Amino acid sequence: MPVMTFIEAIRSALHDAMAADDRVMVLGEDVAVKGGVFLATEGLLARFGEHRVIDMPIAECGIVGAAIGASLHGLLPVAEIQFADYIYPAIDQILNEAARFRYRSNGDWSCPIVVRAPCGAGIHGALYHSQSVERLFTSTPGIKVVVPSTPFDAKGLLIAAIHDPDPVIFFEHKQLYRSVRGDVPEGIYREPIGKAAVRRSGSDMSVFSYGLMVHHSLTAAEELAAEGVDVEVIDLRTLAPLDRDAILASVKKTGRALIVHEDVLTGGIGGEIAALIAEHAFEYLDAPVRRLASPDLFATPFADPLEEYFMLNPQKIAAAMRDLARY
Amino acid sequence: MEANDTPPHVRLGLSRQRLIAGLRTMIASRETDDRLWLLNRQGRAHFVVTAAGHEATQLGCAWAIRVGHDYVVPYYRDMTLVMALGQSVLDILLHAMARRDDPSSGGRQMFGHYSSRRLRIVSGSSSVGSHLVHAAGLGLAFRARGEQGIAVMGLFGEGATAEGAWHEGMTIAGIHQLPVVFVCENNQYSISVPLHREVPVPDVAMKAAGYGMQGVVVDGNDVFAVYEAAHQAMERARNGGGPTLLECKTYRLRPHSSADDDRKYRSREEVESWRARDPIKRFEHYLVEHGIITNEEIEALRREVRAEVDAATDAAVAAPYPPVESIADHLYG
């Protein structure tokens, strides 16, 4: 099985999905001739032509809106928002339009689009090239929110998203693009949307995370293992719909829960997970539920020391794990 | 006068049958509009958004559409249009009264949000202008599929032309020369704000130049002028000639909606002057003058339509609401 980086897995998913189904199309800024600013769409134009791989003007509402329109005629469009930071002009299209097409037409229409958006900090992207915005999309029904952490999942979940009957917002952490590698099968395969994955089985506490923070949590968990604390790391993979069963099963087993995400603390998905545990697993808890998240700022500032302070890392996560283990 | 004095319906190849069916649709739309305001006053229809005054614009556009083949991306004022495309008086009343069998939304959307996948009428939100990017996207879809001979008509009021989504839809359609006809039903007010405070140029159609497409202005109360321009634009789109911005100048004869009082922003003299130019009366006059129909036949038609509206009202009032258990149906596929 080939070993791929995360970005190669995304590219492989797009190539294979487009080759397997001529309803799949890709549209976004710089996606065709340039192959995307991160090269996620490299090679698609030469292979599939300008009618299926479309360079769009700088018009995020138009990119997502055009994807919606194309989906109404039976296509499976994959729209790229160049950075998650620029998704705001498309929010009306995502939340007011794509999410509601099926509901508002009583099941007559549907809108099977994917909106891919690179997200996350730690690459000196400052206020407008490093945001985590998933919290803006997890409280509206009708859409699904997927955040993969491994190359294998990136491909399998993206292919599943393309064929999902509902709109899927697909966040890709930029720091993962070239920093993680893994086995990725050739050809089409799908990972299930809405299912979490146990990345490290453990008995002393549950850590719920997604995206880049899964890797940092796993590093921290190894540190804790050396100290005699057995940490279970759950990769949520999908934030909407949340895999409630997996969350509750894990916390009932370990009795302790730490939620780790790069999105900000207030309004981040961690609050929802904490409430879920409080409502349905309170009697199983040996300690209060803890959240570790980015500070309540817009994104990381540009200055190096501020970015370092802003970002979560394995040391900070290990400290939070120790604190929770000691409770 | 031009040398060609052939009557427009002859020149445009509109049969007697089609003309009378069109008149019936116009009358049915106005009578349904009347009924909706009554039902609103009775507390039976929570909201009415009027189509009165726009009938010629919408019928002329409907005639240019190949029903169930071309896509239509309408807005909330397009009742005459969707009736001409195949929604019945009962369909409209079921929608207005939020009944289970409302074909547009099953009782979920406020009145005026017409939809039918069968008729290729695309569901819309209330977010003004947000639908024109969908029209552009449909054009991209035809191209991706290699389909020719198909077009999209997207309709909106002039107020929508200030929206970012409208600009982005026009931009994309212009860049790719997509088969989309953008129809502006310019009734000169966005609720209360007059044209000169919502559009910076005298004609909305002038905006077309900035998007690489033709802009056309027609008298929106002249059904033949609208049809001719809409037909040409749709044919051009179907044949690979790119998009058009078609501006139909008209006037709404009633307040924006049942929640509006237009006396605050329009003089009665202005409204009356447009009432004298009522597009339905104008069409009737033309048909009588050209021997297509008699006044007696029009009255018979009106009585027939009223009976249909009465029967549809009874049926809609008696129709069931959607069951509460269905409230979360169709959130996901």
Which residues have a Cβ under 8 Å from the Cβ of B69 and sit 6 or more positions away?
B120, B150
CB contacts, 8 Å: B140 with chain A: 25, 27, 54, 66, 69-70
Task: Note the pLDDT tens digit of each residue in A210-239.
Answer: 999 999 999 999 999 999 999 999 999 999
Task: Enumerate the domain spans of chain B.
Answer: 12-319
Cα separation, A303 vs A288, whole angstroms: 34
Q: From the list A65, A71, A110, which residue is nearest B169 (CB)? A: A65
Q: What is the DSSP annotation of A96-127?
A: IIGGGHHHHTTTS-----EEEEEE-SSSS-GG
User: Known catalytic residue: A129?
Assistant: yes
Whether the Cβ atoms of residue B115 and residue B123 lie closer than 8 Å to each other: yes
For the whole model, what pTM was predicted?
Answer: 0.97
Cα separation, B244 vs B234, whole angstroms: 8
Place of tokens 């897995």: A9
| B114, B142, B147, B330: best to mutate for the A interface, most A CBs within 10 A | B330
Which residues have a Cβ under 8 Å from the Cβ of A11 and sit 6 or more positions away?
A39, A40, A41, A42, A43
The one-character DSSP state at A94 is I
Pick the CATH number of B12-319 from 3.40.50.970, 3.40.50.300, 2.40.33.10, 1.10.3720.10: 3.40.50.970
Q: Is residue A192 part of a domain?
A: no
b/e per residue, A269-293, with b = 16+ CB within 10 A? bbbbbbebbeeebeeebeeebbbbb
Domain co-membership, A58 together with A106: yes
A292: domain CATH number is: 3.40.50.920
Q: In terms of residue numbers, what domain contains A120?
A: 3-183
Q: Is residue A214 part of a domain?
A: yes
Best CA proximity match to A294, nearest among A276, A274, A268: A268
Q: Per the residue annotation, which of A15, A51, A73, A129 is the catalytic one?
A: A129
CB contact under 8 A, A67 and B142: no
Domain co-membership, A122 together with A220: no
**How many C-beta atoms lie closer than 10 Å to residue B254's C-beta?**
18
Give me the tens of pLDDT residue by residue for chain B, a chain 333 residues long: 445 689 999 999 999 999 999 999 999 999 999 999 999 999 999 999 999 999 999 999 999 999 999 999 999 999 999 999 999 999 999 999 999 999 999 999 999 999 999 999 999 999 999 999 999 999 999 999 999 999 999 999 999 999 999 999 999 999 999 999 999 999 999 999 999 999 999 999 999 999 999 999 999 999 999 999 999 999 999 999 999 999 999 999 999 999 999 999 999 999 999 999 999 999 999 999 999 999 999 999 999 999 999 999 999 999 999 999 999 999 999
Cα separation, B283 vs B53, whole angstroms: 12
Place of tokens 């996606």: A31
Q: pLDDT averaged over chain A?
A: 98
Whether the Cβ atoms of residue A133 and residue A222 lie closer than 8 Å to each other: no
Domain co-membership, A259 together with A222: yes
Cα separation, B217 vs B220, whole angstroms: 9
- Which of A183, A210, A241 corresponds to the end of one domain? A183
A78: domain CATH number is: 3.40.50.970
Domain co-membership, A29 together with A144: yes
